[in-house]
Structure 1
Amino acid sequence: MDVVEGFWVRVSTPLPQLPTAVLVGALVAAGAVVLAPALWRPARTVVTIAHEGAHGLVALAAGRRLSGIRLHSDTSGLTVSAGRPTGPGMVLTCAAGYTGPALFGLGAAALLAAGHAVGLLWALLGLLALLLVQIRNWYGLWAVLATGAVVLAVTGWLPPSGQAAFAAAGTWFLLLAAPKTVLELQRARRRRAAPDSDADQLARLTRLPAVLWVGFFLLVDVGALLLGGWWLLG
């Protein structure tokens, strides 16, 4: 009980606010990863994990049965769920992918602004553990385990201030990366390289134009970036 109590105190105790210089430094570092092609390519797998994880969480919340998640080395992914092929549950599940990383980032920004950086990292480990049991291919297994190992190392080896700085960089990364993936989606759609994208599936489900769904994704992601940035820096 003492161990559990000590762990809970460690996770739930608010930390002092990070200095603005550290938050701005984390923003610059995250922006460099998003903008540099050599860094973006491997880091994009983290966005795919959040994307497919959001599909899975919303599918379960909508009463669908989750059959498995696959992550691929080209940074694409696939979440399979069973249930009605149409209706609100399917629409929400499809819409969750491109908005999920931004909303995860917004939630992380709220926790950081409240001083709960350590709790944020442990919550992330819990979500990765839940995702792990749904992974159905070797690359996906490796990607989730590697991401979890990095977060676990940070929680075990860095002091609370270092954990907070890492959490800030990860939060900025999700907030900045989410809109970029939507722009990549639209570029692929213009080349007719993504006929079964989330936006096109939503168009078939709702009879609203796919480009309208792309605009919705972008609106949510940019809104989350602006609000999350205000919480962190305002």
Structure 2
Amino acid sequence: MYQMLDPATLTVLITGATAGIGAASARRFALAGARVIGTGRRADRLIAMRDELGPNFHPLEVDVRDNDAVIAALAGLPEALAKPNVVFANAGLALGLEPAQRASLDDWEDMVDTNIKGLLYTVHATLPGMVERGEGHVVFTGSIAGDYAYPGGNAYGATKAFVKQFSLNLLADLIGTQVRVTNVEPGMVETEFSLVRFHGDKTKSGNVYAGIQPLTAEDIAEQVFFCCTLPRHVAINRIQVFPTCQSFAGMKVQRGEA
């Protein structure tokens, strides 16, 4: 019989655990017996998750865009949680869908601060400990937008291309350390993602998923859980997950006179 890892042996740090893929992953791991440290900026949601999931969930209010805050928050963890062996750098967002020439610079900066800097701060604070202990797994929420360009995806797609390349370079650095790296790259997932992207406009957000069956946060959480509970000699480096109704787009062509 194929022997998967016992989730009870895992201490899982999840950033962006207050909604979407992060929240679904926290539930998946905690209900399977793992110890989960869930981070986010919305303390009320973290407390609600602790009430829902019980002692297997430890809420940690922190903004991953603030490196000093990340370091302090992790340093203050109880001893039983101070050595995570799964770090899921999930916190991220998309803002706006305007072409680059009309895009908001504030939106671009917010995406860079969260999707790139927040991810780097999380990894930098936790990776040395995993390497020292000779055991660990770093997981990222990437996106198919890191491979496939689309109109309006400008800065968001670029941040996810960074996540993809960083994960590959991290893998190269970690050879021989017994620390695994996985970049989970979803297609269309119906969460709060589009609501955030369109700054709370429910009509625009709803139109994104009209007439289709997109992925759910639970679909992606299941992929993350699977990758993290495989035997330690097995490493899934990249996994792209599309809803059945989606494929990559054809090349855009402008026809007629310029």
Q: Per the shorter chain, which TM-score range?
A: 0.3 to 0.5
The structure carrying a bigger helix percent of its residues is: 1
Q: Whose strand fraction is larger, Structure 1's or Structure 2's?
A: 2
TM-score (norm 1): 0.33
